[in-house]
């Protein structure tokens, strides 16, 4: 083989190598593009995850606040019912004590007055006033009027 043929073969080998490198370069570029796109996707996923975590924290705070509000409302209603029935019981006890004294002294007017007082307390539904209390409690624009 003479020098020209060797040079021609060398040029051909260089061209083939160049073509092969060009193919590999295209593949490498595609891999890089895929990686960068994948990187963008991963960044997007990370951002979404951070947003979801922030939303979850907000919801947890709102849940705690709502539970605290419900607990306070429950305690307020329980205390109001306890006071309502305690007041009713105090009134009934006073009327029964008066009735006992009236029966011992056979005082008919006091007996009738005591029985009327007992009847007036018993015939009133204590839950009606509680229902009004709850309606006012539910409506933040309404003012609760206390009747002492």
| Helical segments of the chain, H only | 3-105, 108-123, 126-138
How does pLDDT run across 23-43, given as a tens digit for each residue?
A: 666 666 666 666 666 556 667
Residue 92, classified by CB atoms within 10 Å of its CB into exposed (0-12), middle (13-18) or buried (19+), is middle
Which of 18-22, 80-84, 92-96, 131-135 ranks highest by mean pLDDT? Answer: 92-96
132 near 124, Cβ under 8 Å? no
Is 27 among the domain residues?
Answer: yes
Is 8 among the domain residues?
Answer: yes
Is 44 among the domain residues?
Answer: yes
Is 147 among the domain residues?
Answer: no
Is 128 among the domain residues?
Answer: yes
Q: By mean pLDDT, which of 10-24, 40-54, 88-102 is the weakest?
A: 10-24
Global pTM?
Answer: 0.53
Closest by alpha carbon to 126, among 89, 73, 74, 75?
89
Is 99 among the domain residues?
Answer: yes
87 near 126, Cβ under 8 Å? no
Within 10 Å of residue 95's Cβ, how many Cβ atoms?
20
Is 133 among the domain residues?
Answer: yes
Residue 61: domain span = 3-138
How does pLDDT run across 61-75, given as a tens digit for each residue?
A: 999 999 998 898 889
Is 144 among the domain residues?
Answer: no
For residues 85 and 37, what is the distance between their CA atoms, to the nearest angstrom? 71
92 near 121, Cβ under 8 Å? yes
């Amino acid at each position: 083989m003479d020098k020209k043929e060797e040079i021609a073969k060398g040029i051909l080998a260089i061209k083939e190598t160049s073509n092969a490198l060009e193919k590999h370069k295209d593949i490498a570029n595609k891999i890089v593009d895929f990686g960068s796109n994948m990187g963008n996707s991963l960044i997007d996923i990370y951002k979404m995850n951070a947003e979801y975590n922030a939303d979850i924290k907000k919801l947890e705070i709102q849940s705690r606040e709502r539970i605290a509000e419900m607990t306070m409302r429950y305690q307020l209603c329980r205390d109001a019912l306890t006071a309502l029935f305690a007041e009713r019981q105090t009134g009934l006890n006073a009327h029964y004590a008066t009735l006992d004294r009236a029966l011992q002294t056979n005082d008919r007017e006091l007996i009738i007055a005591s029985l009327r007082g007992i009847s007036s307390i018993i015939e009133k539904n204590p839950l009606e006033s509680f229902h009004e209390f709850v309606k006012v409690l539910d409506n933040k624009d309404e003012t609760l009027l206390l009747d002492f």
